[in-house]
Chain A
Amino acid sequence: MPRYFTSEHEWIDVDGTQGRVGITDYAQGQLGDITYVDVPAVGAVLAQGGSAAVVDSVKAASDIYAPVAGKVTEVNAALADAPDLVNSAAESDGWLWTMELSDPAQLTALMDAAAYAKLLADL
């Protein structure tokens, strides 16, 4: 299953028109201890690059943007009791939501793992 990255440090795993979204390990490290995740509502329609979730850490609240457009199909219920899953497993169990992509062609605007690694190296 291919994984794509955004310059805002989100990732999305894509299987056909289904996507699962989270923030990168780099992003969680920058945010610090995460105390609350405000996930989107199931059924919410997201625009590419639009604010979709808020991750609240001890330092600050940060917007999380939708990597591509689509409709939210599921949210990670485990985050309600354990928001720190995003710290400990940002790129696996700390995923934020799944979505039905409305326009998979938008993925071409995102980065692959190698391009994202280069972006991090240049920061």
Chain B
Amino acid sequence: MVPFAGHMMPVQYEGIIAEHMWTRQNAGLFDVSHMGQLLIASPGADQAPAEHALEALLPIDLTTLGLGGQRYSLLLNDQGGILDDLMVTRWPGGFFVVVNGATKTDDIAHIAARLPRDVTLTERNDHGLLALQGPRAAEALASLGLEPAAPGIVTVENLWFMQAGPYRWNGVELHVSRSGYSGEDGYEISVPAAVIAAFADALTAHPAVRPIGLGARDSLRLEAGLPLYGHDLTPEIDPITAGLGFAIARRRRTEGGFPGHAQIMTALTDGPTKRRVGLSVTGRMAAREGAVVMAGDTPIGLVTSGGFAPSLDYPVAMAMVDAAHAVTGTELSIDVRGRSLAAHVVPLPFVPHRYHRKGIA
């Protein structure tokens, strides 16, 4: 157990590699209750004020986000730097936003200070959050007999990736989205704190489900090429440099109206001076955050996160490097403890995503 984002959290249960491989092959249950769960809403059925308020903070297009739809977005400062990465889901009564645990206090202050009077921010801190990830997640969650809690909601195994809805379990309402941060199919489930332990016990009673700690959560997201806020993403990094241009909605690129629009459009047009890349590391010694990336004798960047990739059986890293050295196949080296480790640029993700995407069987 270690202190993390103001909570005591488990690094591992049976061992990081075993937990990592179990999640890739079966289903892993992660307690991610340290993350912030926010509801941003305006009074009445019309959520247009809340929609406009969020679009003023995020480069997202909410006009194309239907009820139950979920989307990845970025909280930006006025220079276009990333303050946090987050998920937004359209609920009937507002927008459900999940933010990182370490940044939630700052996020709430930032957002609340910028909302108009008719839009409210409520922290749902009476709810915990569980992530169930892996190829057997759907089978395991379906076995609990969750009932759709609103008309038109499909059963949990029929949700698509980035689709969400309310469900009832033993009379308690849960919010389930088909999403996660492991690269696998799976769910994130917002559960009232009073029943979350019982719900977690019911899930782990399924033979495919084991509890997974922070260590494997990090190695899974690293293999999936997913950036970790505070490491791969910081206020000094804009979305284009971070390789997250997909999060800048097409309509918003032309219309603007979000913080840092001008800077981000410049980075898009001119190309960023640095880029987030994946590095495959030769040998077995891992390169970790802060290690200097070299092109010959010239330092050209820093590792932002890295470690041993259990699914690949070799070390990988993500690094922020000068754009000239960001092309796939570029041979680089990484200084680690006085050693020079050979590495080359590879496309992200390191391990293919296996999401349950609409239109893909």
Residues of A within 8 A of B (CB): 32-33, 35-36, 38, 54, 56, 58-61, 83
Contact = CB atoms under 8 A, between A and B. Distances in A.
Contact of A59 (B20, B215, B285): B215
Given A58-B16, A58-B215, A58-B307, A36 B337 contact: no
Given A33-B15, A35-B308, A56 B215 contact: no
22 contacts: A32-B12, A32-B15, A32-B215, A33-B16, A35-B284, A35-B286, A35-B308, A36-B286, A36-B308, A38-B337, A38-B339, A56-B285, A58-B16, A58-B17, A58-B20, A58-B215, A58-B219, A59-B16, A59-B215, A61-B286, A61-B288, A61-B336
Contact of B310 (A54, A58, A59, A83): A58
Given A58-B215, A59-B215, A36 B16 contact: no
A54 B336 CA distance: 11
Contact of B337 (A33, A61, A83): A61
B149 interface: no
B11 interface: yes
Contacts of B17: 33, 58
Given A32-B16, A38-B285, A59-B16, A54 B337 contact: yes
Q: Select the residue from A35, A56, A61 with max chain B CB neighbours within 10 A.
A: A35
A36 B285 CA distance: 6
Contacts of A61: 285-286, 288, 336-337
- Place the interface of chain B in its size category: 20 to 34
A32 B16 CA distance: 7
A58 B337 contact: no
Contacts of B288: 60-61
Q: What 8 A-B pairs are tightest by C-beta distance, nearest first?
A: A36-B284, A58-B16, A35-B308, A33-B17, A36-B285, A58-B308, A33-B15, A33-B16
A117 to B, nearest CB: 24
A61 B308 CA distance: 11
Nearest to A80: B284
Interface in B310-361: 310, 315, 336-337, 339
Contacts of B284: 35-36, 56, 83
Interface string B207-247: 00000000100010000000000000000000000000000
Contacts of B15: 32-33
Contacts of A59: 11, 16, 215
A33 to B, nearest CB: 4
A112 B129 CA distance: 48
Contacts of B11: 32, 59
A92 B339 CA distance: 29
